[in-house]
């Protein structure tokens, strides 16, 4: 079931993975826009992927010898000037993943999908 899209859209970071030939959100950290940090003209989540991944390892959620770049990852930000969402992801992004990300972050408004080379360095699509 899709989450409700009533001005409760979020910003944050995420990883996706493939499980049984189906894409899913592996893990996401999200916040309402008003709890984000200001970064130029954007509201962003203050977290970076690396420390969140390390916390997941310490709690035994993911393999200890894994790296935060193993799975496809990205970031959702909000432009306070343009009043639209930006999703930064790698060249692996596809229509199905776009819908999963929109659902996860409850985004119903306009989105700019940005292919960012920073998110292209992945080694796996699943564990």
Asked if residue 41 is part of any domain, the answer here is yes
- What's the chain's Rg over C-alpha atoms? 14
pLDDT at 125: 64
For 54-88, give one letter per residue: b (16+ CB within 10 A) or e.
eebbeeeebeeeebbbbbbbbbbbbeeeeeebbbb
Number of domains in the chain: 1
Query: In this structure, is residue 126 part of a structural domain?
Result: no
The answer to whether position 58 is within a domain reads: yes
Neighbouring-strand partners of residue 114: 88
Q: The pTM is what? A: 0.88
Among the listed residues 115, 117, 84, 89, the one whose alpha carbon sits nearest the alpha carbon of residue 101: 89
Question: What are the angstrom distances between the C-alpha of 67 and each of 17, 47, 85, 124?
Answer: 14, 16, 27, 10
| 88 vs 12: CA distance, rounded Å | 11
Could you tell me if residue 1 is inside a domain? no
Residue 76 is assigned to a structural domain of this protein? yes
pLDDT of residue 4: 43
In the chain, which stretches have pLDDT less than 50? 1-6
pLDDT reported for residue 3:
43
Evaluate whether residue 49 is within a structural domain: yes
18 belongs to a structural domain: yes
Domain membership flag for residue 4 = no
Range of the domain at 41: 13-119
pLDDT of 98 = 97
């Amino acid at each position: 079931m899709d989450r409700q899209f009533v001005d409760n859209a979020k910003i944050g970071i995420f990883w996706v993975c493939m499980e049984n030939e189906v894409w899913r959100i592996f893990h996401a950290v999200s916040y309402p826009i008003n709890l984000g940090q200001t970064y130029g003209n954007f509201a962003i989540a203050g977290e970076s992927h690396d420390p969140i991944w390390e916390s997941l390892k310490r709690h035994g959620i993911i393999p200890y010898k894994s790296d935060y770049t193993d799975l496809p990852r990205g970031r959702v930000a909000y432009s306070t000037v343009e009043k639209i969402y930006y999703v930064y992801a790698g060249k692996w992004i596809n229509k199905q993943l776009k819908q999963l990300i929109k659902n996860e972050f409850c985004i119903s408004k306009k989105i700019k999908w940005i292919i960012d080379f920073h998110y292209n360095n992945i080694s796996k699509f699943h564990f």
